[in-house]
Structure 1
Amino acid sequence: MIRTRASLHRALLSLAERVSFADITVTAIAGEAGIGYATFFRHYPDKHSLLTAIAGEFIDELMGEIRVPTAADTRNAAMILARFVDERRAICHALLVGAGDEMRRKITDRVVQGATAMPDTAPHRFPRALLITQMVSSMLAILAWWLDNPGALNRDELAEALDRLALIPALG
């Protein structure tokens, strides 16, 4: 059971690296995973549920690694995120580029939900949820671009872009 789910996760991520999520079928996922078509449905009702499960695990790992930074530590937060994504390039590409806007919305919603649940002592002109949504959306757009343009920026340059284009404008 656990091995089959892991195979399905790997299969979807592998396919999402090659084709858009919209073009991936359950038949293709089952074939890539080396399982029968009907077996897929013993684990997930559809490909969206599988993607949601993968994204949930990824987001949990991401949230354990980073937190919403303060204005004083944006550079460090950007470096941590750049390293995290660089070390998990395949899954990040599959989720942010292959699955596209749907997955970015899920990630944004989850991060906003987690961040707005934490105490906030800094005064803001705009609602905190709006600031976090803008920051996360900008960061995901930058990361998706970077993943889709290998070699355009190294990890340090990516961190600088995240800091200067997403974090500082939202928190500064």
Structure 2
Amino acid sequence: MRSGAALRDALLRLLTAKSFDQITVRDICAEAGVHYATFFRHHPSKEALLDHIATEQIVTSVELTLPIKDAGDDRGSLDALCAYVEEHRVLWSILFNGGAGAAMRGEWLRQARIVAETRDSVGSWLPKELGTICSTSLIVETIAWWLTQPEGAYSADQVAGILDRLVAGSTLARD
């Protein structure tokens, strides 16, 4: 799977310089050093490659936070998520703010909806789907904002605290 990894890495490098819409499959192949036909053995389109990268990162972040979340520790989940993003800051910056942001946000919401189907509603006043959309939007946009700040301006712990207050304040039951 060296070609697959090379294509993934090539797209991420290209996204640091151009928006996703400006990148062609030929650009990705040239950057990866693979033949044009090789691309299509791995992915049907550049959108599919981007979706694969976004899904991989979102699934990883969901897997990291779910065991903590199942224990009822929302702050612990947010700590784990922010630590993961901070550890992979360059990659997440590219995915959220380097031309792939729309796909990343869409995939995060899709994954959040899948997880939400297995959970109880947060409170009776807030429909579950709306709560999922609101919580996901707060988390995604806060992380995207954080990634535009100078490195070290806010720690993972500080951002987790911000998220904890934002999410809890907007979704807790106030019947």
TM norm. shorter chain > 0.5? yes
Corresponding residue pairs, total: 169
1 CA distance for matches of 2:147 and 2:95? 11
- Asked whether 1:10 is paired with 2:5, we answer no
Contact 1:142 1:162 in 2 (8 A): yes
The match for 2:65 is 66
Contact 1:13 1:90 in 2 (8 A): no
2:73 partner SS: helix
The match for 2:126 is 126
2 CA distance for matches of 1:10 and 1:161? 32
Contact 1:11 1:29 in 2 (8 A): yes
Tell me the CA shift for residue 69 of structure 1.
Answer: 4.2
Under a length normalisation based on structure 2, what TM-score does the superposition of the two structures give?
0.85
The match for 2:21 is 22
Tell me the CA shift for residue 91 of structure 1.
Answer: 2.2
Tell me the CA shift for residue 102 of structure 1.
Answer: 2.7
CA offsets 1:37-94 (integer angstroms, 9 cap, x no match)? 2321222121101011112222221121013948x63322221111010111122112
Contact 1:9 1:54 in 2 (8 A): yes
Counterpart of 1:139, as a letter, is: I
Counterpart of 1:101, as a letter, is: A
**Post-superposition, which runs of at least 4 consecutive aligned residues in structure 1 deviate over 6 A?**
none
Contact 2:51 2:103 in 1 (8 A): no
Contact 1:74 1:168 in 2 (8 A): no
What's the RMSD between the two structures over aligned residues? 2.1
Under a length normalisation based on structure 1, what TM-score does the superposition of the two structures give?
0.87
Give unpaired runs (5+ residues) of structure 2.
Answer: none
Structure 1 residues 171 and 28: alpha-carbon distance in aligned structure 2, compared to 1, 3 A threshold: farther
Give unpaired runs (5+ residues) of structure 1.
Answer: none
